[in-house]
A and B are shown apart, each in its own frame.
Chain A
Amino acid sequence: MSDYAEDYSTAELVCVAVAREVEDGDVLILGSFTPLAFVSYVLAKVTHAPNIMYMAYSSVDARPFRLTFGSYEAAATAGGVARWNMTECINSLYLGIGVDVEPISSIQADQYGNINISVVGDYAKPVLRGPGGAGAPEVVKMHRKMLGYFPNHSRRTLVPRVDFITGTRWKISNEERIKAGLRPGPIKFITNLAVLRKDEEEKPFRIESVHPGVSVEDVVNNTGFELAVPDDVPETEKPSKEQIRLLREVIDPYGMVAFDFKSGKERLPYLRDILDREVKALGS
């Protein structure tokens, strides 16, 4: 009998794919509230990467936790070995020893490894003013791996050239990165359809794998830039039964991981429902 699960959602598949990018010994950061990333880290820590160390808000080397909505920050920070503020965190980790991976999502991403979290349209009077990059410009440039995740793989998100470069990988090949004093590592985009990867300045992203049930054609047609398509594109490794059990029963019983995959309209009702269940579980 296969150890792979047959019953899983796309969100769970993407979450597990992100978790698999985490290697034991990595140093990671949980910043802006991104449920999928939080769950991926915890899943990695309780399975194949028990020694990873993460910063959660101000908490250094925080313990794995159950993700909820009402108390995610309290849970993420409980049980750390130290408290560092943001300055200590960026000076030590971003600028000092370096972070291995920190998944980010953006409004647009392009074939050069640029991301846009700033504006769509004119900069001074945009059609859409996004939230801005926070630490993302440094995240995508300096971290060992650049990892983008996109719940909606489309030509609107994966564009030939972003409207505004909030951040950029800047140096892509291992050789160029080492020359610039940066740690070598690839760019990977994990989407609801596939895993894309780029290792060289001059070569396009290539399809590393397509998710089960997705065709190569779907991926190519929904990508706004050229992709290299290997002769034999592998299928993305499915989540194992044990990974799905851990997600549903232990780490994420409320289904927070699906949040990023909900449309704008669905999001608040989804959160309200989770809150109701969470408060009931508090008892009196």
Chain B
Amino acid sequence: MNRRDRVINQNKVAPLSDITRLIKDGDTVAIGGAWLSSHPMAIIRQIIRSGIKHLYALTILGSVDIDILVGAGCLDRLMFSFVSMEAYGLPPNFRRAIEKEGLKYDEITGLAIILGFEAAGRGVPFLPYRGPFGSDCVKERPEFYKTIKCPFTGEEMIAVPAIKPDVAIIHAQRADPAGNTQIEGTGGSDLELAKAADKVIVSVEEIVPTDVIRQNPYKTKIPRFYVDMVIEAPFGAHPTSSIPSYVGDPWHMMKYMEMAASPESFKDYLSEYVMGSEAEYLEKIGGPKHLDVLRKLAREVKLL
């Protein structure tokens, strides 16, 4: 994306369906969030609705975001350090695709992926660290991990290459129309994704005037010169969390695990929950009353 255009364009607000302007078949897409938190699920559902295919998805700590894309057949390849449904078990579609269908994957240790994004963001071809010596992940991907000698001390280090996604997709609390984005909750390494990617799509709980952003600049993690598109998507991280607005939805996660247990029932999941609009989705998962419970659970915590 042309940097100057990004800076000049002060109104990047678009409807969810516009993601096809920026995400194309075959793209490398880095997905924000971590664990079961802050994943850009509304954008992910829209990728499935739009029929975008042959993606190479990159995640550091993935969960239902990756599993749903795998199950919907959107991916040709996957880079990850971790894909887990945590308390709910192992991700069913992810397991099936690798164990039975031979989905191509690059299992790269977590720090190495982050370092690869950092390298891209800083404009250097690689970054070194005292890498995971002795891990078989290094053996499996010799093209990714290289042993180098520090030119100053002679110490052996691991170098990892810059990772440059075509697109990064991120969900956050709020942004202004120009793309200044505030992250309050568990942001993973979203800023590094935004710095590394050629194009960046941010979905937010609410779009606010720039004045509101200026009232609390400390929360702004991604300034507008990294952002190409801003989409308003309330509960856009659901069923993952967007702390402090709402917790992850344990009821829906259990429903998901049940329906993802077989390829047949997962098709039903997609047609029931994904193929309609986001508004229909929020109704189907329980509507306003249910969403209130998720908000309330995020507020009412007991500190000792």
Chain A: residues with CB nearer than 8 A to chain B?
31-33, 35, 42, 46, 57-58, 63-66, 68-71, 73-75, 77-79, 83, 85-87, 90, 94-95, 114, 118, 123-135, 137-138, 141-142, 164-168, 170, 181, 250-251, 259, 264, 267-268, 271-272, 275, 278-279, 282
Contact = CB atoms under 8 A, between A and B. Distances in A.
Interface stretch (B14-22, B49-57, B131-139, B226-234): B131-139
Contacts, number: 201
B49 to A, nearest CB: 27
Contact of A78 (B88, B110, B303): B303
A75 B130 contact: no
Contact of B136 (A63, A164, A267): A164
A268 B301 contact: no
Interface of B: 34-37, 60-61, 80-84, 86-91, 94-95, 98-99, 102, 107, 109-111, 114, 118, 129-130, 132-137, 140, 155, 183-192, 221, 241, 243-244, 247-248, 250-251, 254, 257, 293, 296-304
24 contacts: A33-B35, A70-B247, A73-B37, A74-B241, A75-B302, A77-B243, A87-B192, A128-B95, A131-B83, A132-B107, A133-B82, A133-B135, A133-B137, A137-B109, A138-B109, A138-B132, A165-B134, A167-B132, A167-B134, A168-B134, A267-B89, A268-B88, A271-B87, A272-B254
Given A125-B99, A134-B61, A165 B135 contact: yes
B6 to A, nearest CB: 22
Nearest to B304: A64
B90 A131 contact: yes
B251 A275 contact: yes
A78 B197 CA distance: 31
Nearest to B185: A58
A58 B172 CA distance: 14
A114 B139 CA distance: 15
Given A79-B303, A166-B137, A275-B251, A134 B129 contact: no
Contact of B301 (A42, A78, A130, A142): A78
Contacts of B87: 33, 35, 69, 259, 267, 271
Contacts of B114: 86-87, 90
B95 A65 contact: no
